[in-house]
Amino acid sequence: MIRSAGHAATDDHSGMVVVDHLSKSFGAVHAVEDLSFAVGPGRVTGFLGPNGAGKTTTLRMLLGLVTPTSGSATIDGRPYREIARPLRVVGAALEAASFHPGRTARDHLRVYAPQVGVPDSRCDEVLAMTGLTEAARRRVGGFSLGMRQRLGLATTLLGDPRVLVLDEPANGLDPEGIAWLRSFLRHLAREGRTVLVSSHVLSEVQQTVDDVVIIARGRLVHSSSLAELDALTERAVTVLSPDGMGLRTLAEDRWPGRWETVDHPGAGAGTGAVLVRDVDAATVGAAAFAARVELHELATRTVDLEDVFLRLTGQAPAEGQSASTMGAVA
Amino acid sequence: MIAALRSELRKTMTTRMWWVLLLTMVVYMAFLAGVMAFSFAFEAPGAGAAGPGGEEGMALAPLDLALTVYTLAPTLGYVFPVIMGALSVSGEFRHMTVTPTLLAEPRRTVVLGAKLLAGLPIGLLYGVVGTLTTIGTGAAVLAALGEDPMLTDPEVLRTAALAVLAMTVWAVVGVGFGAALKNQVVAVVVVLAFTQLVEPVLRVALGLVESLQEVPKWLPGAAGEAIAGASFYSASGINELLPRWQGLVVLIGYALVLAAVGRLTTLRRDIT
Ligand SMILES: Nc1ncnc2c1ncn2[C@@H]1O[C@H](COP(=O)(O)OP(=O)(O)OP(=O)(O)O)[C@@H](O)[C@H]1O
Ligand SMILES: [Mg+2]
């Protein structure tokens, strides 16, 4: 691809974050194992995984703070440590506690301004962008968690970077703050920036992200657009019958491989409860009627995106219980 | 490097520690200078310009007396620039501001270099203020007791200027020390214990053992005093000091060795 020299800033690497076979062990703890993914510009990417999945460790390796055991991570094709004036290329906020409590918000920003190469007036600008103008001259020690998150975000914006890396930026924000963050991140992505945000709950970023990278126990479990992840959601129907045997025979006959027995509070001797996937209640009801199986309950249960996330990351929701219980008995 | 240096100076000036410690040092130095000027002048009443203090080992000639009082900053007050220097590294780990610091400048040697250089103006400030305090208080007390404060003596002026230099280098030693021992509480405790107790005891104890008499002058505190060229210890005959230039080289050596240790330990580790 040929581009004029005037557009050198938008070369092919521009805004690309690439994690390549990255691994990190802390002694016996394998925090990250053979993780690979890529994140592109113009989109908000959610980096998701439960507590301890390795999100922070991955981001710290990406930012040159932690040395990988093996593998590499690059931004714009270069390791972070080799980027000259990195704050002009990457803005990163890692945790809400990285402030000296005795410094004011404005002074916190002024400390890094020389290295970004911007005048102090830029500090006031980013304070205004993050709604901290009023608190600019207050000491950070007295800030709420939400205000610290905003100050962390303000710090990332100092150098007007192409790439933003934010570790759990929604932590501690009230609903209004989350809504604000959402539109702010969408706005940054629309400007063509790369936005990588981590979270341990999908629902928190579900309305913000275009793409998802999901990890669990240090390994990649899923990486796709949000739309593709959405396709993994499904409907399911739970049915309760006094004739447990008949119900299971019917389910195996009509929906082999798509049903399982489940615990049910209303179940008694001889009764049975079954969950059938990817089917609607009317179909199940009609089939039961035709097979003369008496039903006491017929309920639609949608498996939402959060359940998919939990299943992918091995934090199986309640419906998986029967299988694991059987496994334990055997 | 210039940007990193400016960043370091802003870090220091935007928290309260620098002036809290500076004021504490002023009070401490004024107190020590007053007490010492008073007690030495009192012990040698009318010793005047007559010559070396006779039978009484502690009696000092006016010049020695003045030099002893005016070098109290590098003799006992140097702990303040050391702590300031140490906090510039250990404070970053205490508050985890080392994360944004390394995001702004991922080259860790540059970060440490900027901190060492930033120690110079801080140490200069502490040196000027500390030395002026001891001269101001000491001279006032000496004059009040009828002794000559010797303020126009060229040796006094040279010693005062070199006392400032010693304090300046001490701040850089503090940075190296903080890098080698990043835990803030431990660093402050070790600094206080070493400077106020361990080294003074070592100097007296080693001075008593004939074969080890040469050792104390290589200790960091003695090297700092050697830069100024006078101290309470040397005046009272407890230890000899190195020549000035050697003292300077030795103290800078301590700073660089500690900084190198810090670079290979604290600053090589993962920041998690
Ligand atoms: N410095 C360290 N020493 C030892 N183990 C560590 C260290 N840092 C992280 N770990 C371990 O690595 C694993 C991954 O931790 P990490 O902080 O990356 O997870 P995370 O996905 O960010 O979790 P959370 O959602 O809780 O922030 C955890 O088991 C953690 O205990
Ligand atoms: Mg984390």
A57: distance to nearest CA of chain B, Å?
8
| Atom 6, ligand 1: residue with shortest CA distance | A26
Tokens of B149: 């404060």
Average pLDDT over residues B107-135: 97
The structure tokens 């990457």 sit at A90
**pLDDT bucket at A325, cuts 50 / 70 / 90:** very low
pLDDT at A138: 97
Beta-strand pair A29-39/A259-261: unpaired
**Cβ of residue B10 closer than 8 Å to a chain A Cβ:** yes
Q: Model confidence over A240-286: pLDDT tens digits? A: 999 888 999 999 999 988 888 888 877 777 788 898 888 888 889 99
pLDDT value at A198 more than 90: yes
Residue A1, pLDDT score? 37
Mutate which: B103, B108, B267, B269, vs A, most A CBs within 10 A: B103
Residue B6: other Cβ atoms inside 10 A: 17
- pLDDT by residue (tens digit) across B166-220? 999 999 999 999 999 989 999 999 999 998 899 989 988 888 888 888 888 899 9
Which residues, numbered 85 to 114 in chain B, qualify as contacts with chain A under a Cβ-Cβ cut-off of 8 Å? 91, 95-97, 99-100, 102-107
Sequential DSSP letters for chain B: -HHHHHHHHHHHHTSTHHHHHHHHHHHHHHHHHHHHHHHHHHHSTT-TTS-S--S-TT---HHHHHHHHHTHIIIIITHHHHHHHHHHHHHHHHTTTHHHHHHH---HHHHHHHHHHHHHHHHHHHHHHHHHHHHHHHHHHHHHTT----TT-HHHHHHHHHHHHHHHHHHHHHHHHHHHS--HHHHHHHHHHIIIIIHHHHHHHHHHSGGGTTSGGGSHHHHHHHHHT--HHHHTTS-----HHHHHHHHHHHHHHHHHHHHHTTTTS---
Strand ranges (E), chain A: 17-26, 29-39, 44-48, 70-75, 90-93, 163-166, 194-199, 211-216, 219-225, 234-241, 259-261, 272-277, 297-303
How many beta-carbon pairs under 8 angstroms link A with B?
81
Domain that holds residue B91: 2-49+57-268
Residue A146: both structure tokens together: 């939400």
pLDDT of residue A96: 60
As a whole number, mean pLDDT of residues A86-91 equals 96
Mean pLDDT on B38-45: 72
Q: Provide CB contacts within 8 A for B155, sequence distance 6+.
A: B63, B67
Average pLDDT of the residues in A278-304: 86
Region A71-83 average pLDDT = 96
Q: Residues of A288-308 as b/e, b for ≥16 C-beta within 10 angstroms?
A: beeeebeeeeeeebebbbebb
pLDDT at B210: 83
Choose among B247, B245, B188, B191: nearest CA to B216. B247
Q: What is the pLDDT of residue A10?
A: 47
pLDDT at A2: 37
Report d(CA A241, CA A294) in Å as an integer: 6
In this prediction, residue B48 has a pLDDT band, given cuts at 50, 70 and 90, of very low
Of B2, B95, B270, the CB nearest to A65: B270
Contact residues of ligand 1, CB 6 A cut-off: A 26, 29, 31, 49, 51-57, 200; B 272
Which whole number is the average pLDDT over A124-151?
94
Rounded to the nearest integer, the mean pLDDT of chain A is: 87
- Chain A residue with minimal CA distance to B100? A98
d(CA A64, CA A59): 9
The chain-wide mean pLDDT, for chain B, equals: 90
- pLDDT score of A165 more than 70: yes
Count how many domains chain B has. 1
pLDDT in tens, B212-249: 888 888 999 999 999 998 887 777 777 788 999 999 99
What's the pLDDT at B207?
83
Query: In Å, what is the CA distance from A127 to each residue of A147, A186, B265?
Result: 11, 19, 36
Over residues B4-22, the mean pLDDT reads 96
- pLDDT value of residue A235: 77
Q: What percent of chain A has pLDDT over 70?
A: 90
| Residues in contact with B228: Cβ distance below 8 Å, sequence separation at least 6, in sequence order | B71, B74, B75, B159, B162, B163, B165, B166, B244
Q: How far apart are CA B96 and CA B115, in angstroms?
A: 16
Residue B236, chain A, CB below 8 Å: the answer is no
What's the ipTM?
0.88
The answer to whether residue B197 neighbours chain A at the CB level (below 8 Å) is no
Q: Is the pLDDT of residue A292 over 70?
A: yes
- Interface probe for B, chosen from A67, A112, A166 (most Cβ of B below 10 Å), is A112
Least confident of A194-208, A222-236, B37-51: B37-51
